Structure 1
Amino acid sequence: MHTTLTEHARCVFGDEYRPAPPCDREHDEGSFVELLTFADAGEILAMLRELCPQLADGYLPVRIRNLAYGLLLLQRPEDPGLTREAALSLHLHGPDWDGIAAELHARADALEAAEHRPGPE
């Protein structure tokens, strides 16, 4: 039985760096996507960091990475570092998403600029 999103992902998709945990039940991508959909940002980030530590590696399918980053940005829309990381992931995994990646880079730039603007005194 799995206690974390990361363990569940490892069982469904495998892990380039570690073996899948012992499991006594069948898994499918659909059940994993349901868990991912309602996971909090910390759980999603932990899964991405552990299963894809170099951003372009790991066995998570690109569609799952894209979904994970989309869900993260919904939960943390004001995080320029995470926005930039999502854009980089899109760039690394194919030209189909270059337009979206460029928009995310621009959003990250705007968020960082807003962080450095002096506020009202």
Structure 2
Amino acid sequence: MEGRMSELSRLADAIVDPSGSCDDQDRQVAVMEFVEKLTFATVDDILEMLRVDFESRWGLPVWARNLAYRLACLQRPDDPHLLRMAASDLYLHGPDWDHIAEDLNQCAARLEAVSPETGLE
């Protein structure tokens, strides 16, 4: 995927629109297309889109980041590294979700205690 943007990342760009040039109808269509693509995306596609957002965009709405991590964690519930990534992202958005982030970190710790080799570097 090096050198070319994934479809999911392209759609994420479309909902960010930092210039504010989209009208409401275009923005609504962009959001619908993004949600549809995200709903059926693989974990790897989701994480790539989030990586691109973290490195260059920083404009993905909180609801989109939360949904992306939620869908990724549902696909890989036994991945302590992913659970910690999701928890870290929740901490960025204020105290409202801190208790969920703490639960994710505790779950990751339990998974590593049972099977330390599941932890990703």
TM-score above 0.5, yes or no: yes
Larger Rg over CA atoms: 1
| Residue equivalent to 1:40 | 42
Residue segments in structure 1 that go unaligned for 5+ positions in a row: 16-25
What TM-score comes out, normalization by structure 2 length? Answer: 0.77
Separation in structure 2 between the aligned mates of residue 91 and residue 12 of structure 1, nearest angstrom: 23
Residue segments in structure 2 that go unaligned for 5+ positions in a row: 19-25
What TM-score comes out, normalization by structure 1 length? Answer: 0.77
Percentage identity across paired residues of the two chains: 46
Residues 66-117 of structure 1: CA deviation (Å, up to 9, x unaligned): 0000000011111101100100110111111011111001001011111238
Residues 3-34 of structure 1: CA deviation (Å, up to 9, x unaligned): 6111111122147xxxxxxxxxx442122111
| Residue equivalent to 1:13 | 16
| Residue equivalent to 1:87 | 87
Give the AA of the match of 1:49: R
Task: Tell me how many residue pairs correspond in the alignment.
Answer: 105
| Residue equivalent to 2:71 | 71
Q: Structure 1 or 2: larger helix share?
A: 2
Instruction: Give the alignment's Cα RMSD to 1 decimal.
Output: 2.3
| Residue equivalent to 1:31 | 33
Separation in structure 2 between the aligned mates of residue 107 and residue 59 of structure 1, nearest angstrom: 29
Give the AA of the match of 1:8: L
Write out the 4+ residue segments of structure 1 that deviate beyond 4 Å after TM superposition.
none
Is the CA contact 2:80–2:108 (under 8 Å) kept in the aligned structure 1?
yes
